[in-house]
């Protein structure tokens, strides 16, 4: 104990140390009761809310990611369904127009064939007439040459 007293004496500690120590302890206790306790509560509440908000943010981000995946899946499904409908309608329209084209082509081919037959008949009729007229002209030419 003497060494402790010697060290305190060298440090310049005198009898006023005890009242100063008591005053510091009383001020600490008052500060703890009036200020530091409330400050600790505020810090704990803020930390708790911050942690809860981080967890809530993580949960929200997970929900957003799930909703995004669900949205993409539904969009892909809707695109596939739309493509299927468009392809079906396109094939149906193509079939309908192909049939209409074939019918029109048959009508045009029939008209061409009928026109060809009629033209051939007219040519044959005109041919006989022109051949008969050619005989008359040939006879007339022969008579003119002979005269």
Q: To which residue do tokens 């943010």 refer?
A: 57
Domain boundaries, the chain: 2-146
On average, the pLDDT of the chain sits at 88
CA gap 87, 4 in Å, rounded: 99
CA end-to-end distance (rounded Å), the chain: 181
54 versus 81: the higher-pLDDT residue is 81
Q: What is the pTM of this model?
A: 0.43
pLDDT in tens, 100-131: 999 999 999 999 999 999 988 888 888 878 88
């Amino acid at each position: 104990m003497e060494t402790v007293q010697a060290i305190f004496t060298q440090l310049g500690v005198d009898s006023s140390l005890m009242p100063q120590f008591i005053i510091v302890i009383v001020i600490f206790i008052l500060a703890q009761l009036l200020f530091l306790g409330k400050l600790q509560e505020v810090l704990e509440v803020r930390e708790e809310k911050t942690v809860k908000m981080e967890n809530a943010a993580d949960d929200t981000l997970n929900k957003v990611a799930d909703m995004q995946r669900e949205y993409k899946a539904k969009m892909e499904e809707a695109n596939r369904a739309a493509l299927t409908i468009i392809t079906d309608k396109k094939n149906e329209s193509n079939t309908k127009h192909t049939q209409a084209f074939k019918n029109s082509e048959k009508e045009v081919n029939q008209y061409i064939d009928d026109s060809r037959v009629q033209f051939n008949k007219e040519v044959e009729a005109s041919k006989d007439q022109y051949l008969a007229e050619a005989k008359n002209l040939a006879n007339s030419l022969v008579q003119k040459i002979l005269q």
